[in-house]
Amino acid sequence: MYIVIVGAGDIGTPLIEIATRSGNEVVVIERDTERANRAADRFDCLVLEADATTNATLEDAGIERADAVVSTTDRDATNVMVCLLAKEYGVPSILSVVHDPEHMNLFEQIGVNTMENPQQLIAEYLYRAVARPAIVDYMRIGDQAEVFEISVTENAPVAGKTLQETADEDLLSDDILIVAIERDGANAPITPRGNTTIHAGDVLTVYSAVGAEPEITDIFGHYEDRVDE
């Protein structure tokens, strides 16, 4: 792919690394001299030290043939302008970081894929690691639903039971779905079926429409999440 990345700061730099490492043709636009020089020295890509909110700069970056434009600057106003210009050039995929939640609607109105303030997401992730130590990894879907990984303890109510048995005993409600099971000795994740038995030590990928609340983590034997309640 031909990707134009605007911004070579804390967010843009890891993206540039991933995109170039994956073999994409990447052009970076960064108006700060120090950041632009650092990106040029570090990555195998074209770096333009320029203002990305002008047609001339975008044309120098080859915007007409870009498959994607990603704007990662720390200013929502700049990101909006870049996205609007990219739409005028008919770029198929346009993405942007959004720092102020109040601006999210504006980006959605112009039809841009967005990512919330990464710093806020990191802070929420760190808090979750403290408040819910049982959760190995998680991703929020919408306002409440979550997909998360959790291990099964020896004293978990579901340990030693098949998925069908957990449903029959009302241990797992219709709001909870076991998506995959990682098990020591298995070469690949197990796709669970009704007759699949959950073992102590399994790491489950779980979808919960009501989030990873203590009532949910209890099912997998993690009562430590209730210590501070």
Same domain, 7 and 75: yes
Same domain, 98 and 140: no
- pLDDT at residue 226 greater than cutoff 60: no
What average pLDDT score do residues 106-124 get? 76
**pLDDT tens-digit profile of 205-223?**
999 988 878 888 899 998 7
Same domain, 13 and 32: yes
- pLDDT at residue 229 greater than cutoff 50: no
**Which of 64, 81, 115 is the last residue in one of the domains?**
115
Q: What is the pLDDT of residue 227?
A: 47
**Residue 189 to residue 204: CA distance in whole angstroms:** 9
What average pLDDT score do residues 119-139 get? 69
Q: Which residues contact 155 (CB under 8 A, 6 or more apart)?
A: 221
Same domain, 190 and 127: yes
| pLDDT, the chain, mean | 89
Q: Which residues contact 68 (CB under 8 A, 6 or more apart)?
A: 1, 2, 3, 4, 91, 92, 93, 94, 95
Domain range holding 196? Answer: 122-226
- pLDDT at residue 196 greater than cutoff 70: yes
**Which of 83, 115, 147 is the last residue in one of the domains?**
115
Reported confidence tier of residue 120, pLDDT bands at 50, 70, 90? low
Q: What is the pLDDT of residue 78?
A: 96
**pLDDT tens-digit profile of 38-68?**
999 999 999 999 999 999 999 999 999 999 9
Which of 99-103, 141-145, 205-209, 224-228 has the largest mean confidence? Answer: 205-209
**Residue 90 to residue 87: CA distance in whole angstroms:** 5
* Least confident span in 82-86, 105-109, 142-146, 179-183: 142-146
**Residue 43 to residue 47: CA distance in whole angstroms:** 9
- pLDDT at residue 72 greater than cutoff 60: yes
Same domain, 146 and 102: no
CATH number, position 79: 3.40.50.720
Beta strands of 42-134 (E only): which ranges? 46-48, 68-71, 93-98, 113-116
**pLDDT tens-digit profile of 3-39?**
999 999 988 999 999 999 999 999 999 999 999 999 9
Q: What is the pLDDT of residue 160?
A: 95
Q: What is the pLDDT of residue 50?
A: 97
How many domains does the chain fold into? Answer: 2
Same domain, 171 and 208: yes
Q: What is the pLDDT of residue 163?
A: 94
Same domain, 63 and 168: no
**Which of 115, 139, 154 is the last residue in one of the domains?**
115
Same domain, 135 and 99: no
Reported confidence tier of residue 225, pLDDT bands at 50, 70, 90? low
